Amino acid sequence: MKAIVHREYGSADVLKLEEVSNASPKENEVLIKVRAAAVNPMDWHLMRGTPSFVRFFTGMKKPKRTSLGGDMAGDVVSVGAAVTNLRPGDAVFGAVDGSFAEYVCAPASIVAIKPPNMTYEQSAAAPIGGLTALQALRDKAKLQPGQRVLINGASGGVGTFAVQISKWIGAKVTGVCSTRNMELVRGIGADCVVDYTHEDFATDGERYDAIFDLVGNRPLAAFRSVLNPRGVFIACGGGGPETPASRLLAGMIEQLVLGWFTSQRLVGILAQRKKDDLELLSKLMTSGDITPVIDRSFGLSEVPQAIRYLEAGHARGKVVVSVA
């Protein structure tokens, strides 16, 4: 089968489309023919080995795992002996490692049936972005109907899910984005849209019960100044390929230390691959409460271009890869 591999760290130039050994499922796994995948910031973090401290886990001099890709949708080809809830022919989606490939094996416990009204590309766009937004707002923020939430980076891959999930919960949503994305953010349900090129959310007099920062472009103090005394600030990622590791570490340390001295909760989020949450996302997509926003689609051989596009930082919603 063909797959995107990287045998060294570096820019998208290190990515190669190669013929690799066919995948074979273990007893608790399913073999999936990948129809579509999606690109995430984690892909270029793993590709580049940045920030540098991630290499303690991924390999110091070269990557331990040569495959990339973390979101996919496709069709089950075969199942392991212990799998009883899926069968060949099922259309599924999930957050599956190594999804930039024609076939991939995944534990049956981390994939779910694809929403019937969504394309493979739409379904592939949902797992990591949707799980991150859902678990941040529902579990970390414990967002309630009528509460006010600010989403910084509302037009991005996670932000577009965060706006829609907040509205499904019943919150009042303020989305922060650039001028060209204001109509998009309004269209997916935001009650108020702040154009950061002309306005500053930190000076408009509003206060929020929860703030979800997906950009990392403002000091923590700016967010805390508009967060209610017992509000929740959630940081997710932030920075680009050239952001120094020292800056990222400093931000995490500041958030951790300040958390001991304030009634405001200052937390981070790393999505967990939970089947129940995937199934909830599927229900929300089926009902129309969530519709994935797709910016561009690339072919499997064009994954380097797709990652370069995402790295540039201006994607509206998700960047997907059509595999089949």
User: Do residues 294 and 320 make contact, with C-beta atoms less than 8 angstroms apart?
Assistant: yes
* Mean pLDDT (whole number) for 150-171: 98
- State percent of the chain over pLDDT 90: 85
Q: What is the pLDDT of residue 241?
A: 56
The answer for residues whose C-beta is within 8 angstroms of residue 280's C-beta and 6 or more apart is 134
pLDDT, one tens digit per residue, over 208-224 is 999 999 998 889 999 99
* Bond prior to 107 in cis (omega within 30° of 0): no
Could you say which of 3.40.1410.10, 3.90.1420.10, 3.40.50.720, 3.40.50.300 is the CATH number of the domain covering 129-268?
Answer: 3.40.50.720
Q: Which residues of the chain form CATH 3.40.50.720?
A: 129-268
Q: Do the Cβ atoms of 224 and 262 come closer than 8 Å? A: yes
Asked whether residue 51 carries a pLDDT value surpassing 80, the answer given is yes
Q: For domain 2-126+292-322, give its CATH number from 3.50.50.60, 3.90.180.10, 3.40.50.2000, 2.60.40.10.
A: 3.90.180.10
pTM: 0.94
Residue 314's pLDDT is 85
With 70 as the cut, is the pLDDT of residue 249 above it?
no
What letter does residue 115 receive in the DSSP assignment? P
Tell me the pLDDT of the chain averaged across its residues.
93
Q: Identify the bridge partners of residue 29 per DSSP, sorted by sequence position.
A: 107
**Predicted local distance difference test score (pLDDT) of residue 244:** 52
Q: Are 292 and 131 in contact (CB under 8 A)?
A: no
The answer to whether the beta carbons of residues 234 and 212 sit under 8 Å apart is yes
Q: What is the 3-state secondary structure (H, E, C) of 243-309?
A: CCHHHHHHHHHHHHHHCCCCCCEEEECCCCCCHHHHHHHHHHHHHCCCCCCEEEEEEHHHHHHHHHH
Indicate where the chain has its CATH 3.90.180.10 domain(s).
2-126+292-322
Residues 190-209 pLDDT 10s: 999 999 999 999 998 899 99
Mean pLDDT for the stretch of residues 25-43: 97
